[in-house]
Amino acid sequence: MSASAAGYLARRSAQKERVRILYRRALKDTLNWAVHRHLFYKDADELRAKFDANKHVEDLDTIDRLINDAEATFHKFQHPDPYIVPWAPGGSKFCRNPAPPQGIEIVYDYGKEDKD
Amino acid sequence: MATSLRSAILRHVRVSVQSLDRFRPSSASWGPFHNQSRNLSSHGDEHLKREEVVERVIDVVKSFPKLDPSKVTPTSHFQNDLGLDSLDNVEIVMALEEEFKLEIPDKEADKIDSCDLAIEYISNHSMAV
């Protein structure tokens, strides 16, 4: 009994994590599609309503199926060019560095001057 | 004989020590590093002060519509103390990301569930502005 209870809890917590991460990604993607705040708030409320509609589902297999469907929908409607914070990988400032300050020069034979 | 010769030679060979004022950081005129506060990366090397992080995190959490702003303290847990659910937690973390212009990986953002964890994470993050 305890093994099945532990199995139930493990599966349940894995599902909860999947839902949280899916909601997070979907919410970010909503902001990608609706670039203005007044559009975003409405879309975010709709997204939240979709998640809340199945809040009280108890059957594990049904929950799995719902999560799979939702993930499939999310992947299908993902934004092709999402907003990425500039310094993050894929962002416009990623691996970009400013020019070195005036007065700094590179000494190419650094450490070998004494041998000349 | 040898010692007197040695001292006589050393007296001529030795270079007297001069103070090299221009290499001291106090002389502001020399070199590109005279201004110690200059940023050497495009982001800036300054970090947020912890008090400022605390204040701004509390502000963001207080402005969340589903909770009572008077209950928010720097140590409150989003779900246990403020009565939110896990999806509200996700929304708060996203609001914090936008406030501090961060991009938190999903797995790490999932673990932030209280004000003090958020403060800890953000004040240790080098890119938070």
Do A98 and B102 count as a contact with CB atoms less than 8 A apart?
A: no
Q: ipTM for the complex?
A: 0.79
Residue partners of B26: CB distance under 8 A and separation at least 6: none
Q: State the Cα–Cα distance between residues A26 and A31, nearest whole angstrom.
A: 9
pLDDT at A98 over 80: no
pLDDT at B30 over 90: no
Residue with the larger pLDDT of the pair B91 and B36: B91
Tell me which architecture the domain covering B50-125 has in CATH.
Orthogonal Bundle (1.10)
Amino acid code (one letter) for B52: E
pLDDT at B28 over 50: no
Cα dihedral sign for B46, B100, B125, A86? Answer: negative
Calculate mean pLDDT across residues A85-104.
86
Residue with the larger pLDDT of the pair B23 and A111: A111
Chain B interface, Cβ < 8 Å to A: 31-32, 38, 40-43, 86-87, 89-91, 93-94, 101-103, 106-107, 109-110, 127
Instruction: Give the model's pLDDT for residue A38.
Output: 94
Written as six digits, the tokens of B109 are: 């953002």
Do A97 and B110 count as a contact with CB atoms less than 8 A apart?
A: no
Do A85 and B91 count as a contact with CB atoms less than 8 A apart?
A: no
Instruction: Give the model's pLDDT for residue B113.
Output: 92
**Percent of chain B topping pLDDT 70:** 71
| Identity of the residue in B86, B90, B101 whose CB atom sits nearest the CB atom of A27 | B90
Calculate mean pLDDT across residues B49-69.
92
pTM for this one? 0.73
Domain ranges for chain A? 3-76
What is the residue-averaged pLDDT of chain B? 80
Calculate mean pLDDT across residues A75-84.
94
Catalytic residue at B116? no
Provide the 3-class DSSP secondary structure of residue B94. Answer: helix
- What is the distance, to the nearest Å, from the Cα of residue B51 to the centroid of all Cα atoms in its chain? 12
pLDDT tens per residue, range B91-121: 999 999 999 999 999 999 999 999 999 999 9
pLDDT tens per residue, range A3-51: 889 999 999 999 999 999 999 999 999 999 998 999 999 999 999 999 9
**Percent of chain A topping pLDDT 70:** 94
Provide the 3-class DSSP secondary structure of residue B104. Answer: coil
